[in-house]
A and B are shown apart, each in its own frame.
Chain A
Amino acid sequence: MEIFEKSLEHLYLVFTATVFSVIVGVLLGIIAYRVKHLDKIILWLTDTLQTIPSLALLAFLMIFFGLGDLTLIIGLVLYSLLPITRNTYTGLKDVSPFLKDAAKGMGMSKMQRLLLVELPLSFPLIFVGIKIALVTSFSIAVLGVLIGAGGLGSIIYSGIQIQDVSMILKGAIPVTLMAIVFDIFMTFIEKRMIKKAKN
């Protein structure tokens, strides 16, 4: 039963973090696309954040936010920004200029064009970014145990400490399984979206 509870906790942490990183990441992507010169800075920043070793980032954040779930969620959000921001930016940029012109010609405002034309057309690519962020978050969230957050990491870590293989597996199998299931499920949706877009 403990496994079930911890799995739910793990899922909750990863989901919460992903929701926030989608909000922040898409917004940053839109800003990078819309505001001149900011694109390089934003992309460089997200790139740098992801280059920092995950344990180092989490330990560093712990100094400011203390032990617990909040620190882990902030770390996961910072880590997930890169794929989402980058894909939003590339997606918006790659919308065909003819379609953008057509929307302008129909008298749409800048906001209308963004919400009704550009974002819907780049959604498949943004979705891929979200998928990458979500799947990686599952394994990074395991490190949460080291900064006092919940989730399956605690089972794995106790297993390592008492050198108990079955205990490590009890934590590792649900994490890996969840990551793989989401990967397969979201890849399926992504393929359907691309098919639809082509028709």
Chain B
Amino acid sequence: MNTIIDFINRYYKEILHYTSRHIYLVFVSVAIGIVIAVPLGILLSRHKKIAEPVIAGISAFQTIPGLVLLGFSMMIFGIGIKPAIIVLSLYSLLPILRNTYTGLIGVDASLKDAAKGIGMTKNEILFKVELPLSVSTIISGIRISTIYIISWATLAGLIGAGGLGDLIWIGLSTYSKDYILAGTIPAALLALIVSNLLELLQKLITPKGLKVKR
């Protein structure tokens, strides 16, 4: 127990610094991902013919190892936080896009008909019927994305973006147990906490009518 307190005493400043940088990286990337992916998902659900190839294309893109994309981005945009955010937000697109699309497609056609029947406009149907009914699926996409990005952001340390990857990297290259632990434990905790929080949000935000069904 003493060693743990000792450890925290010695490294808390560094841990705080690198953790906040990590959170910043993840937050900005996922926010950009949401802003692009949700409208794109809505658009795709209106044009089903192009949806399949687009989603298949992004899926193939996702099999490219993270290290490779980060490496390329570094060559094009240089070292630092910018190339990392570009790659991370690109990578956060797919889960959100896919879930927005499947969520909207999955809304019961009879409900859409009913909405049309009571005289709702297209926009009203989207905002008052389709989106509320698929919001839980969309949030689950955001959760998957965020966990991925927390993991990928540790790699971003390799191209000079900062974050907990830096600590892990220092630890690995100098074979220092302390630095490895100072990087890995906060990274793992961050992923677990964020995952649970978003799961909770997903439960809270699900419309009452859908909860009863389960």
Query: Do A62 and B183 touch (CB < 8 A)?
Result: no
Of A51, A139, A175, the residue contacting B191 (CB under 8 A) is A51
Query: Do A147 and B71 touch (CB < 8 A)?
Result: no
Query: Do B68 and A52 touch (CB < 8 A)?
Result: no
Task: State whether the Cβ of A48 lies closer than 8 Å to any Cβ in chain B.
Answer: yes
Question: How many A residues are at the interface, by size bracket?
Answer: 20 to 34
Query: Do A143 and B67 touch (CB < 8 A)?
Result: yes
Kindly list chain B residues whose C-beta atoms are within 8 Å of the C-beta of A142.
Answer: 65-68
Query: Do B192 and A168 touch (CB < 8 A)?
Result: no
Query: Do B187 and A172 touch (CB < 8 A)?
Result: no
Interface flags for A153-192 (1: CB within 8 Å of B; 0: not) read: 1001101100101001001100110011001000000000
Kindly list chain A residues whose C-beta atoms are within 8 Å of the C-beta of B70.
Answer: 160
Task: State whether the Cβ of B177 lies closer than 8 Å to any Cβ in chain A.
Answer: yes
- The verdict on A157 contacting B67 (CB below 8 Å), with A51-B147, A55-B154, A56-B168 known, is yes
Of A56, A146, A172, the residue contacting B65 (CB under 8 A) is A172
Query: Do A53 and B191 touch (CB < 8 A)?
Result: yes
Query: Do B192 and A55 touch (CB < 8 A)?
Result: no
Task: State whether the Cβ of A135 lies closer than 8 Å to any Cβ in chain B.
Answer: yes
- The verdict on A54 contacting B67 (CB below 8 Å), with A59-B180, A160-B158, A180-B60 known, is no
Of B67, B158, B184, the residue contacting A59 (CB under 8 A) is B184
Query: Do B172 and A153 touch (CB < 8 A)?
Result: no
Query: Do B155 and A55 touch (CB < 8 A)?
Result: yes
Of A56, A157, A175, the residue contacting B184 (CB under 8 A) is A56
Measured CA separation A109–B118 after assembly (Å): 59
- The verdict on A63 contacting B181 (CB below 8 Å), with A53-B154, A143-B67, A160-B74 known, is yes
Query: Do B168 and A55 touch (CB < 8 A)?
Result: yes
Main secondary structure of the interface of B (DSSP, over half): helix
Query: Do B155 and A176 touch (CB < 8 A)?
Result: no
Kindly list chain A residues whose C-beta atoms are within 8 Å of the C-beta of B67.
Answer: 142-143, 153, 156-157, 160
Kindly list chain B residues whose C-beta atoms are within 8 Å of the C-beta of A59.
Answer: 168, 171-172, 180, 183-184
Measured CA separation A15–B119 after assembly (Å): 58
Interface flags for B150-178 (1: CB within 8 Å of A; 0: not) read: 11111100110000110011011000010
Task: State whether the Cβ of A60 lies closer than 8 Å to any Cβ in chain B.
Answer: yes
Kindly list chain B residues whose C-beta atoms are within 8 Å of the C-beta of A156.
Answer: 65, 67-68, 71
Kindly list chain B residues whose C-beta atoms are within 8 Å of the C-beta of A89.
Answer: none
Task: State whether the Cβ of B205 lies closer than 8 Å to any Cβ in chain A.
Answer: no
Measured CA separation A163–B72 after assembly (Å): 9
- The verdict on A165 contacting B75 (CB below 8 Å), with A51-B191, A63-B181, A171-B68 known, is yes
With A51-B188, A138-B63, A153-B67 known, 15 other A-B pairs at CB within 8 A are A51-B191, A52-B187, A52-B191, A53-B150, A55-B154, A56-B187, A59-B168, A60-B180, A63-B177, A156-B68, A160-B158, A163-B75, A165-B75, A171-B68, A176-B64
> Chain B residues in contact with chain A, CB under 8 A?
60, 63-68, 70-72, 74-75, 147, 150-155, 158-159, 164-165, 168-169, 171-172, 177, 180-181, 183-184, 187-188, 191-192, 195
Enumerate the 5 nearest inter-chain pairs by beta-carbon distance, A residue then B residue, closest first: A53-B151, A160-B71, A56-B184, A139-B65, A172-B68
